[in-house]
Amino acid sequence: MILMAGPCVIESEASLFRIAEALQPYHEDARFDFYFKASFDKANRTSLESYRGPGMEEGLRLLQKVKEHFGYKIVTDVHESYQVAPTAEVADIIQIPAFLCRQTDLLVAAAKTDRIVNIKKGQFMNPADMRYSVLKVLKTRGCDEVGYENAKKHKVLLTERGSSFGYGNLVVDMRSPVIMREFAPVVFDATHSVQMPGSGGGKTGGDSSMVPYLSKAAAAVGVDGFFFETHFDPSCALSDGPNMVTLEGLKQLTETLLAIEACSR
């Protein structure tokens, strides 16, 4: 099971290492293909006053430090093409944010590296149309035919993270992972799927109580992995706190997901 987990954004070196240390059991557990996740910049925050992160140079330095200290593989997101090359020197997975999943120059720049490219499905996207985003990466890497095995061979992932349902709400259509697995391995982003965009008075709200239910449904439907934003205290997190899971809650949930996955097989 692919498992991407970590804080939404790098808040400080101390908090980053505290969370990274707590996630060490997943790195040591052979049942997981573990990647440590944290963003160096949250460029699509609702408000100009919202915390964005330490920036690319300092953020990549801290992620490299985590990588060297714990031996973790790293996943982080990029927002502009110029960020891709330096990010690829540190990250094992380059993540394309949902709002940018059709951004051709960004996808092509990521495809020109040798890193895994994880494309998050836009909240506005028909899941069937994600084949074209996958194909942009595949063609750049010399493959003209979209399909699960080709995407796996050429290191492309898709991530489901919910769809807009009116204003300030997301829903997850469990047909979406099934449809997208025709084109690429699929990761389910359980924490972003419970966001309530724009519902927090200049910031995004969320309902973390729904994370276990949606995660279990995704495991039953069949996905290749999971993405969780986690924190020792989500109530004081500087980004996405309302939809995060606690470090303690993550442990119990991942065991349940492994059991469901085994039953499904």
Both tokens of 115, joined, read 């890193």
Side chain identity, residue 42: K
Pairing assessment for the beta strands 225-231 and 156-160 based on DSSP bridges: unpaired
Side chain identity, residue 250: L
Q: At what angle do helices 56-70 and 13-22 cross, to 10 degrees?
A: 30
Q: How far apart are CA 35 and CA 73, in angstroms?
A: 5
Q: Count Cβ atoms within 10 A of the Cβ of residue 134 and give its class: 0-12 exposed, 13-18 middle, 19 or more buried.
A: buried
Residue 201 pLDDT: 63
Residue 6 pLDDT: 97
Residue 202 pLDDT: 64
How do residues 197-256 score in pLDDT, each as one tens digit?
876 666 677 899 999 999 999 999 999 999 999 999 999 999 888 899 999 999 999 999
Both tokens of 230, joined, read 């986690």
DSSP code of 223? -
Check if the beta carbon of residue 97 is closer than 8 Å to that of residue 124: no
What are the φ/ψ torsions at residue 26 (nearest 5 degrees)?
A: -70, -35
Q: How far apart are CA 128 and CA 148, in angstroms?
A: 13
CB under 8 Å to 180, separation ≥6 — which residues? 121, 127, 130, 158, 160, 186
The domain tally of the chain equals 1
Residue 59: in which H helix or E strand, if any?
helix 56-70
Check if the beta carbon of residue 13 is closer than 8 Å to that of residue 171: no
Q: List the chain pLDDT tens, one digit each, 265 residues.
A: 999 999 999 999 999 999 999 999 999 999 999 999 999 998 887 788 788 999 999 999 999 999 999 999 999 999 999 999 999 999 999 999 999 999 999 999 999 999 999 999 999 999 999 999 999 999 999 999 999 999 999 999 999 999 999 888 999 999 999 999 999 999 999 999 999 887 666 667 789 999 999 999 999 999 999 999 999 999 999 988 889 999 999 999 999 999 999 998 7
Within its chain, how far is the Cα of 22 from the centroid? 19
The HSE-up count of residue 87 (CA atoms within 13 Å, CB side) is: 32
Q: Count Cβ atoms within 10 A of the Cβ of residue 166 and give its class: 0-12 exposed, 13-18 middle, 19 or more buried.
A: exposed
Residue 34: in which H helix or E strand, if any?
strand 33-37
Q: What range defines the domain where residue 80 resides? A: 2-264
- Write down the residue that tokens 């910031």 correspond to: 203
pTM of the model: 0.95
- For 262, other C-beta atoms within 10 Å of its C-beta total 10
CATH number of domain containing 208: 3.20.20.70
Residue 248 pLDDT: 95
